[in-house]
Homo-oligomer: A and B are copies of this chain.
Amino acid sequence: MLSRTSQYALRSVLFIAENSHARRKVGVGEVAKALDIPKYYLAKILRKLAVGGLIRSSKGPGGGYYLDSEDFEHALIAIIEIVDGPDSLKKCALGLNTCSSEHPCPIHFYIGPFRDSLLQSLSEITVGDALQQLKEENVFIANLLTADEKKKENGRPDERH
């Protein structure tokens, strides 16, 4: 549905939103470890998001990524568009080069409305909205560790991701 990259991006932004403010920044390594995302790959994604103005960054000791209060107002779709390019969700489900009711494919009227609603949602929900969800009991942004992984964690407590 969404590319792995935009999944990483969404989860990271929410993690940063939850764990940072202007005086408490989070580093790539911290995010990577918490969400089990390859560290150096994540670094690239976060850079894109920072360049795109969706998150903030600062270098040096005590530096890292954080969200400013305005950043909570961005719609989730903006995150997806920055990493996956725009319009990735507006295309014809069958891959035709136009999608319109004037030149529809055979499933346009069947599935179009749902796809549009989905897109609409992603355009309306802000980072703040999603963060609120995340703060609810039993809402997660990271996978639970399997028994195996827990053992691994204990065995090599300082392992890099």
Contacts and interface: CB of A to CB of B under 8 A. Distances in A.
Contact of A106 (B98, B107, B139): B139
A131 B111 contact: no
A148 to B, nearest CB: 13
B96 A143 contact: yes
B111 A122 contact: yes
Copies of this chain present: 2
B94 A139 contact: no
A50 interface: no
Interface stretch (A3-11, A21-29, A61-69, A151-159): A3-11
Interface residues of A, number: 46
Most buried by B among A95, A97, A140: A95
Contacts of A131: 106
A144 B2 CA distance: 28
Contact of A141 (B76, B89, B106): B106
Interface string A88-110: 01010111111000111111111
A141 B91 CA distance: 14
Contacts of A95: 2, 4, 7-8, 11
